[in-house]
A = this chain, B = another copy of it.
Amino acid sequence: MLIREIEPGDRPAVHALLRACGVFTEEEVSTALEVLEVGIAGGLDGDYPAFVIEDEGRVRGYVCVGKTPLTAGTWHLYWICVHPESQRAGVARALQAHVEQFICSRGGERIVLETSSQPGYERTRRFYRCAGYAEVGRIKNFYKTSDDCVIFCKEL
């Protein structure tokens, strides 16, 4: 597996990934694509650095992060998405470890992320807990009724 900075040519693969995941709404996909465009345009020094992971030449996942405005050393992990066929192969873990190292190399001190409280995201939440993220907040009904926002943070 190879992790590298995202390139313009990765657009079709990332679009396909987002749809293949099956968990994102249309609005979420289009938001992710907007952020992706900024990520591609700005590169690693831009507002939304993004990386893809390749396995045997095929893009199997991507991740997008960004320095949190008005903070000294806080970054947000905005999006991590792995192809359903690769979800048990350590792809997400590899992406996660890569962005932690990247953020650390840029002087980042912690990573904050938000995810859903719904049962469909239980595996996601477990993934972050196992990776050392602690729940630091919860906003009831944030996304919609009975769908809270769970805020996680990890000190690097």
Instruction: Give the B-binding residues of A (Cβ under 8 A).
Output: 25, 27-28, 31, 68-74, 109-110, 112, 136-145, 151, 153, 155
Residue of A137, A143, A144 most packed against chain B (CB within 10 A): A137
Nearest B-chain residue to A142, judged by Cβ:
B74
Instruction: State whether A70 touches B27 (Cβ < 8 A).
Output: yes
Residues of B within 8 A of A145 (CB): 72
Cβ B72 vs Cβ A143 within 8 A: yes
> Known pairs A74-B139, A110-B139, A141-B155. 7 more at Cβ < 8 A?
A25-B70, A27-B69, A72-B145, A73-B141, A74-B141, A136-B139, A137-B137
The answer to whether B136 touches A136 (Cβ under 8 A) is: no
Known: A136-B139, A137-B137, A139-B112. A73 touches B151 (CB 8 A): no
> In the complex, what residues of B have CB within 8 A of residue A141's CB?
73-74, 109-110, 155
Q: Which residues of B contact A110 (CB under 8 A)?
A: 139-142
CB contacts (< 8 Å) of A138 on chain B: these are 136-137
Q: Please state if B137 and A70 are interface contacts (CB–CB under 8 Å).
A: no
Q: Do the beta carbons of B139 and A70 come within 8 Å of each other? A: no
20 A-B pairs with C-beta separation under 8 A: A25-B70, A27-B69, A27-B70, A28-B70, A31-B69, A70-B143, A71-B143, A71-B144, A73-B141, A74-B143, A109-B141, A110-B139, A110-B140, A112-B139, A136-B139, A136-B140, A137-B137, A137-B138, A139-B153, A140-B155
